[in-house]
Chain A
Amino acid sequence: MGIASITNACVHLQNAARARLGLTSIPNTKYNLRLALAMHRAGLIASVTRGGPRPPPPEALLATETEPVTFENVATRRLWIGLKYWNNQPVIRNVSPVSKPSRLVTAQLDELSRVARGLSVQQLKGLNLGETMFLSTDRGVLEVREALAKKVGGLILCRVS
């Protein structure tokens, strides 16, 4: 699935936030998990928990997974994402996927630094106030400022504001 599941996950998170959901789930893939953890580091989501087809109980959200993954249950695993709200507004307002399977968008370090300062580079618009970007690098899925700190560019996954 690759980048397609990332695109689907981005759109699903935006829909879930606009529907004011507290807990939602995305398919359990490594790519999704890395993106979810990057978003968690950025403070955009409250929790990431690997669980079954049913929502985990609230106390289980503090753990990373409700039960160990086995060959028997791996097909039913999902990533349960706790969404955040502040002042009656969702913390995630817009999630727009950038790369798609038919068109992968990458940015090198110098381009990334310009984009992070709000300047546009070719088709890539500069980041606005409160906007952030996630990209897939060889150091994992990182937020744009993490990537700049580690001086790596990569495949741009999505923009979140």
Chain B
Amino acid sequence: MSVARPATRRLISGRLAASPVAPCAAPTPTTAPCQQVFAHQFHSSRQLSARRRPRFANVRAADMGLMSEKQIDDFTKEKFPQYTKEELDHLRTKYSPAQIAALEAGEAAINPRDLTVQGRLRNDPYTIPYIDDFAETQPVIDKRAKNKEAPDPSARFMNMDEFTQDLIMWADKFQVGDVTGQLKTLVDFVPEEFKKVPEGNWPGDVREEAHKAFQQYLEAEVKRQNEAKDVDDVGGGPTDADILQYILERSAMTDNGRTTNTSLAHALPSKVPGVAGLYKKAIDPADMGLDDIGVYQDLKRRTGMSVVEILRLQTKQLVDRSVANQTRLGKVRKTSVMYCAGNGNGWLGIGEAKSTEPSIAMLKARLMAIRNMQPIRRYENRTIYGTVEAKVSGTVVRMSARPPGFGLRVSHRIFEMCRAAGITDLAATIPRSRNPMNSVKAAYKALLTQPDPEEIAMGRGKKLVDVRKVYYGGAVY
């Protein structure tokens, strides 16, 4: 290492002090050195001839005039001027007082001289990708400026009088002859005491005189205006473009033709004349808040049941399968669902629905099952009449009545159907195909096609007596 430590340096200095390189102010014989010693004198590399100069010449700021205070001030005043009074006034029309205060605070926080001296174009990663002071709107980049006022919330459609007034105001812009609305009316030609009285209550002679005077006045006015028209017929009336603009752009509201940036229409009033009362709210207070979405409203109308009664019905999903419609664009998969619904007291229905959404298919099937409910004939409110058999496709369901306490010795889907219908004693077999949907359909068909013993007896002219209801006073359970 070639760098001398302080103690060493002092030692070396003392050694060199005797050498006659440079005279010292006072020839002190001891250790105090006052001579500059360069470390590179001790380096092995060759010493540079002079001070190192850059390969490319730079220009000094002072040479460019940047360091001159006057030039800085001039540049600052030119490029970063203060807001003028007019500009501030204009800003006040655009911004709220709080925003103006924030603007002024921001202006005061930055010295314009610093912008001149230190302001640089950024090239860091977080630079905004275009050079802008956001003073102007660039349509490609920026959203459209919403510089119009909000719509008038209290505006309403004009009534006939307001519309007439508005039309007159518009027409007066294209003044031909006298300003409209300044002509005298019939009331101006009656004595003072009748001016407040309706025309029908005027005495006959007063009315006749008034009409006569009014007619003369109108004729004179027409004549006068025609003469004035002849003198300078400049055609100052509205052009077709004006009329088109009136039709298309004139606001029909009482907002004085104010235009806004929003496309939202004004909200309709709560009671539109002619429409009020036609549209009822979906929520029926009789539902007691059980059907705010309105799922059961159609069912309610069709069945006549209340929502409480509908919700009290027993429903059960019997079959759930996935089906697909093969199209050019691929398979459209849906869920097919079968439901049964019953009131537990002799009514049963089955419903089938498909949807791409399983929950919707279930809801539809359930509502359809409730809609399809029909009365099922039951013997003693617990079993069926006789033995019935029904066939759907290759599925045969055979059902037999059974004594009390027998229970439901049936397959699980028929079990759910029996439970919904309120049948407690039944035997059923499905001897052939056990397709789920067909077994449900066949069971429903079998339940609906039970024979009626009374009808059979009447057809044969016989008297029918159920001995179970005769012996022991009918107490045979």
Contact yes or no, B453 A91, CB < 8 A: no
User: Is residue B415 within 8 Å, beta carbon to beta carbon, of the partner chain?
Assistant: no
Cα separation A42 to B456 with both chains bound (whole Å): 12
Q: Which residue of B lies closest to A91 (CB)?
A: B459
Partner of B451, one of A43, A84, A130: A130
Contact yes or no, A86 B462, CB < 8 A: no
Number of residues from A at the complex interface, CB < 8 A = 12
Q: Which residue of B lies closest to A131 (CB)?
A: B386
Which residues of B have CB within 8 Å of A85? 459
User: Is residue A44 within 8 Å, beta carbon to beta carbon, of the partner chain?
Assistant: yes
Which residues of A have CB within 8 Å of B401? 129
Which of A43, A84, A91, A130 has the most C-beta atoms of chain B within 10 angstroms of its own C-beta?
A130
* Chain B: number of interface residues, binned into ranges: 10 to 19
Partner of A86, one of B386, B451, B458: B458
Which residues of B have CB within 8 Å of A91? 459-460
A interface, by DSSP: helix, strand, loop or mixed?
loop
User: Is residue A128 within 8 Å, beta carbon to beta carbon, of the partner chain?
Assistant: yes
Which of B386, B401, B456, B458 has the most C-beta atoms of chain A within 10 angstroms of its own C-beta?
B456
A134 to chain B, nearest CB (A): 14
Which of B385, B401, B460 has the most C-beta atoms of chain A within 10 angstroms of its own C-beta?
B460
Cα separation A130 to B451 with both chains bound (whole Å): 8
Contact yes or no, A42 B387, CB < 8 A: no
Contact yes or no, A44 B385, CB < 8 A: no
A45 to chain B, nearest CB (A): 10
User: Is residue B455 within 8 Å, beta carbon to beta carbon, of the partner chain?
Assistant: yes
Contact yes or no, A130 B387, CB < 8 A: no
Contact yes or no, B460 A43, CB < 8 A: yes
Q: A86-B455, A130-B451, A130-B453 are in contact. Are A42 and B385 (CB under 8 A)?
A: no
Proximity string of chain A (85-96) to chain B, C-beta cutoff 8 Å, 1 when within and 0 when not: 111010100000
Q: Which residue of B lies closest to A126 (CB)?
A: B387
Cα separation A145 to B348 with both chains bound (whole Å): 36
Contact yes or no, A128 B459, CB < 8 A: no
A100 to chain B, nearest CB (A): 24
Q: Which residue of B lies closest to A129 (CB)?
A: B386
Contact yes or no, B459 A86, CB < 8 A: yes
Cα separation A1 to B458 with both chains bound (whole Å): 35
Partner of B455, one of A43, A84, A87, A128: A87
Which residues of B have CB within 8 Å of A129? 385-387, 401, 451, 453, 456
Near A by CB (< 8 A), chain B positions 439-477 give 451, 453, 455-456, 458-462
A96 to chain B, nearest CB (A): 14
Cα separation A63 to B459 with both chains bound (whole Å): 22
Contact yes or no, A128 B387, CB < 8 A: yes
A158 to chain B, nearest CB (A): 16
Which residues of A have CB within 8 Å of B456? 129-130
Partner of A43, one of B385, B386, B387, B461: B461
Q: A86-B455, A87-B455 are in contact. Are A128 and B460 (CB under 8 A)?
A: no
Cα separation A86 to B460 with both chains bound (whole Å): 9
Cα separation A130 to B462 with both chains bound (whole Å): 11
Q: Which residue of B lies closest to A43 (CB)?
A: B460
Give B contacts to A, CB under 8 Å: 385-387, 401, 451, 453, 455-456, 458-462
18 CB contacts below 8 A, A to B, read A43-B459, A43-B461, A44-B460, A85-B459, A86-B458, A87-B455, A89-B459, A91-B459, A91-B460, A128-B386, A128-B387, A129-B385, A129-B387, A129-B451, A129-B456, A130-B386, A130-B451, A130-B453
